Structure 1
């Protein structure tokens, strides 16, 4: 069984030797049985073909997801829990770890085992799985941990392009010609841009220089923000975009680019990608804000909401995907541009919203789910991911010392939270539980 990688998957695969990993961490209260954890990993691997696959190249160098006749089990490492912050060190180690790409699997787990509280860290290669897929795997693991006999089903084959793009689109001569022309245009632009990028004396950023800033909003502050966004008829996502872009401008001045890129869950546009199917990429939304200091914060949020809603309403997932499948010839130029080109945005921002995961189980309780993190080899790894669990908004702010000074990142975090909370109609406490590594 094999499937050719789609172009976005090839971009994230890179050279196969450079990590591009996503990490989920779940804190659990209670005791876990090792045999139940092994069983849970075995069941999700049996369900999802991609969790059994490695990636091999044909004679032309084209990579394919391929399941070996005898595949390796998902590795589980058990480590003693010393402090409540051990998960952050393990997260940083997971960013830099390299998977056995040809043989797989492209996923592993670390159990940071304590007597009454533990963390489960799930790391996976981004070319195989995105944040939505990672959350689904977390949900399935917890379900089987709670009931080892639970039947989570089986997906017999890989999800292919033909499975998710309607047949009437794939057989539409005019639409496919349009995709081919766009693909040729993409290849041409990438070739031109690549010619102006020199790699002389340039090194890709080092994973050793990555850092994580993590914090939560207190439940009262989170509730007040949700309520105010509802009154203002804006999303929390838009409010956070304005807060972070404004903070970048205030802290970095002329170095700020006033551009944020937000992944949009492709599952909302393509119903054929089921909620329990692993997929690795989404659509992309680029936004900028009105930086006029005389415009109040929430007025800027409303302005951006109008722009974002208009852009999202015009998104066409097939118009996004199909041209890329005719641009594989430009893959080396795209990697060069993304790795060595000048950054064109301040940060990638993703709000996963309220996480649909139970907290109460028979033998354990989910204390918290930390917002996932992801780090790749691109020129600007600066990423903020938020999620909400048990009524608290959780933030993971990832960057690299060579790209964004650590002190600037801390200042951006503090300013963004001040802008976000200072005009709310009720008093809210300052952000709590901030930690840095």
Structure 2
């Protein structure tokens, strides 16, 4: 499933119209932190099939790109029957007046080819209709037919990044807990999928209860908690060729809530020893190091992106609240002071925000706050929302929402940091505890 990304300008000599125009700073820009009342009108003609046998691939790739971009809530695809100009080649003469006439603010053209070995090449160009200029250079991506959705996601990431100024998040994966069976006898196993719910694969069977999967910074390994021995222990699983190992954590202790440090090697987790729960770290080849020492429950640790601090949940003040301490341990500072109970904090990959679960007045919320506890904002509210996980660009959060009642089921949802665009993520069965990977290489 290898992919190759090269500037499209390298192939200009083979095309009817050269594309050597660099990006221009124009008015086409979306600021997604402020909320968008009207999505940006986007013209996205079907990608052109440049070789025999590429027609179906072109249609499928176009649809995934459209779904990616419109799924953000930031873009609105203009129907093709509104087009004054039909795009039948990858290098058409752009009549900007015709695109302005249908209120298009951005235009994406693309093409798909299949080579003699069956590999796909996808190329695209992005135009700022208002400024009447290309927005960046054309790019192409190549890979096997099995990787066709990744090729589409990479196009979407590039378009999204150029228009919003933010990193993309479409070419990424989510590991989660797949749940089946009645509520009082739920079977759980780890599963992995594309960010949008496609390509589900199962990583464990349902013979043992599993909880809290967490990706490594390189997206190649997953930490999780398993009750295989009858009480919680932490395992590490490689998601390339699937293999797993149990971590060398304190013997005869319950260990849970694991998470990797930014270095991808050190692991921070909670351990319950002699009835007291504290936070520990474990470095490769070393012994577990105790980071907290208090007669209270310390859990759900999460590193800052630079690895210098850890945010965690503690009930040392009487109710669960959020605290930040140096990564080596030391005196923590409390950062949550609103009404209610706070838990499951996760540091944004951008380093600017901390997401959390909040319970107050019989409702559960997913919220965000600054790293000093200021500017708290609640993004959701329901019977049970919990367990936030950040997209690679730090602008979208995925979480678990469970419905009420005896037949209530958990499902995965996503929401952006402005509180807009709440969407359910499709999964084959009930699902919980998502963890978002970094962008794939």
When you count helix as a share of all residues, which structure comes out higher? Answer: 1
Structure scoring higher RCO (CA < 8 A, sep ≥ 6) equals: 1
When you count strand as a share of all residues, which structure comes out higher? Answer: 2
TM-score when scaled to structure 1? 0.25
TM-score when scaled to structure 2? 0.25
